[in-house]
Amino acid sequence: MKDPVANFWGNIEGALDQGGFQYILEDLVVKVRAELDDSSMTAQSIDRHDSYSNMATIAQKDGLEDFALALRFAND
């Protein structure tokens, strides 16, 4: 299975051109969540539907640097 973050970055140009950015961002969050244990702080943040900014902060603390970077890109 392809890394969800790599897939996000691979599809971003087309999504921005076609207005599908929100879709690929939501897809990224769903796929990353599926890979996380329920005890993960990032998983709990996703489950609470925290803002992308808050998710990014928590993901970084969890060591999910690439995911945090993608979320911060979405927030800019």
pLDDT band, residue 4 (cuts 50/70/90): confident
Which among 3, 1, 8 is positioned nearest to 23, based on CA atoms?
A: 8
- Tell me the CA distances in angstroms from 69 to 5, 55, one per residue in order: 9, 11
Statement: the pTM of the whole predicted model exceeds 0.75: yes
Over 60: is that where the pLDDT of 68 sits?
Answer: yes
pLDDT band, residue 62 (cuts 50/70/90): very high
- Give the mean pLDDT of 43-63: 97
Domain boundary assignment for the chain? 4-75
62/75 Cα distance (integer angstroms):
19
Per-residue pLDDT reduced to its tens digit, 5-32: 888 877 777 676 666 778 888 999 999 9
